[in-house]
């Protein structure tokens, strides 16, 4: 039976919203990516607990009085590997809806089927946004061939997270396993943000080596945000921290990349950043509430 997600979070009772958490294995034990990619990313990040279940993820965040956005990535065309079940992800978030928020994912290279799948996930399953990884999925988001998908998502009114910058997937493998970093240049998202001004775009991660480009886009486009996942805050580019204290204070979102980085490690390093006390609550919670449409 299909389960539809209903938000059950008491936002007054939580301290932070992690906008970037991966579910790597679904209820049947199926991994989100082929084994060689999985092992390469594990070596790159040196994570301690690589494949927590959805209930384990909920436990981690519940214990810390945090909420978390959880997703997988549908890259079936590029990888030749079936994606994890969105239905299972939504069902898991539904039974933990006091702390978890499900985002969907579709493979843009599937054309009309991607549009239908996005509509199904939003309207029938109740996902609260979508996740894309242009390098892993093998597509240029600025290509007009994908504009019908962005139009559909704009009409659905849900935010979209796009991987940007350096890629741990395929790192150290011959040819990076064919994964092309240029698809994750944030400048490609500037076209999308300009042509779909009512589509909320979240550029995932500090966008090294294109951090200045990401800063510029998030400053220029009202509908573009940056999540701070995938890097320990102690390694954040100086320009990102500097602008986070002023023009980007309302555009930065707490994110870890869990299970690759744990919330406790991220928060420990975040406490040492040279950020104004006045901007920290927005980064940890307030900005995400606005993006998710739960700020009242």
Q: Which of 101, 104, 121, 126 is nearest to 8 (CA)?
A: 101
Quick one: tokens of 178? 């064919």
Q: Are 98 and 56 in contact (CB under 8 A)?
A: no
Confidence of residue 81 (pLDDT cuts 50, 70, 90): confident
pLDDT over 60 (residue 41): no
The average confidence (pLDDT) of the chain is 93
Confidence of residue 44 (pLDDT cuts 50, 70, 90): low
CB-based contacts of 118: which residues, under 8 Å, 6+ apart? 104, 106, 130, 149, 152, 153, 156
- pTM for this structure? 0.94
Q: Are strands 100-102 and 66-71 parallel, antiparallel or unpaired?
A: parallel
Average pLDDT, integer, range 148-164: 98
Q: What pLDDT does residue 60 have? A: 97
Q: What pLDDT does residue 243 have? A: 98
Domain boundaries, the chain: 16-292
Give the separation between CA 14 and CA 98, rounded to whole angstroms. Answer: 10
Coil/strand/helix, residue 220: helix
CB-based contacts of 291: which residues, under 8 Å, 6+ apart? 19, 159, 200, 202, 225, 253
Give the separation between CA 110 and CA 167, rounded to whole angstroms. Answer: 23
**Cα 219 to the chain's mean position, in Å?**
20
Q: What pLDDT does residue 42 have? A: 60
Confidence of residue 36 (pLDDT cuts 50, 70, 90): low
CB-based contacts of 290: which residues, under 8 Å, 6+ apart? none
Q: What pLDDT does residue 2 have? A: 87
Q: What is the pLDDT of residues 48-67, one digit of tens each?
A: 667 899 999 999 999 999 99
CATH match for 16-292 among 3.40.50.170, 3.20.20.140, 3.40.640.10, 3.40.225.10: 3.20.20.140
Q: Which of 124, 62, 131 is nearest to 103 (CA)?
A: 131
CB-based contacts of 172: which residues, under 8 Å, 6+ apart? 40, 43, 44
Q: What pLDDT does residue 175 have? A: 84
Q: What is the pLDDT of residues 221-238, one digit of tens each?
A: 999 999 999 999 999 999
- Which is it for the CA torsion 85, 90, 93, 95, positive or negative? negative
């Amino acid at each position: 039976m299909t389960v539809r997600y209903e938000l059950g979070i008491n936002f007054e009772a939580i301290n932070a919203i992690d906008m970037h958490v991966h579910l790597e294995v679904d209820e049947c034990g199926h991994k989100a990516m082929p084994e060689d990619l999985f092992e390469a990313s594990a070596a790159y990040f040196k994570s301690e607990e690589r494949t927590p279940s959805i209930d384990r993820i909920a436990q981690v965040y519940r214990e810390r009085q945090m909420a978390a956005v959880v997703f997988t990535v549908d890259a079936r065309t590029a990888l030749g590997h079936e994606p994890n079940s969105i239905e299972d992800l939504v069902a898991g978030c539904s039974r933990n809806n006091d702390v978890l928020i499900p985002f969907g994912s579709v493979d843009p290279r599937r054309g009309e089927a991607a549009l239908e799948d996005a509509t199904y996930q939003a309207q029938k399953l109740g996902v609260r946004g979508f996740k894309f990884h242009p390098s892993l999925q093998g597509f240029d988001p600025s290509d007009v061939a994908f504009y019908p998908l962005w139009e559909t998502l704009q009409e659905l009114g849900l935010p979209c997270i796009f991987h940007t910058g350096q890629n741990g997937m395929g790192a150290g493998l011959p040819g990076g396993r064919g994964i092309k970093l240029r698809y994750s240049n944030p400048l490609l998202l500037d076209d999308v943000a300009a042509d779909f001004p009512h589509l909320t775009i979240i550029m995932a991660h500090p966008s090294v080596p294109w951090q200045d480009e990401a800063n510029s886009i998030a400053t220029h486009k009202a509908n573009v945000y940056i999540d701070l996942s995938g890097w320990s805050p102690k390694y954040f580019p100086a320009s990102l921290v500097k602008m986070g204290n002023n023009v980007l204070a309302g555009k930065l979102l707490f994110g870890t990349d869990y299970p690759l980085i744990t919330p406790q490690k991220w928060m420990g390093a975040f406490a040492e950043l040279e950020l104004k006390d006045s901007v920290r609550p927005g980064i940890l919670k307030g900005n995400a509430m606005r993006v998710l449409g739960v700020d009242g």
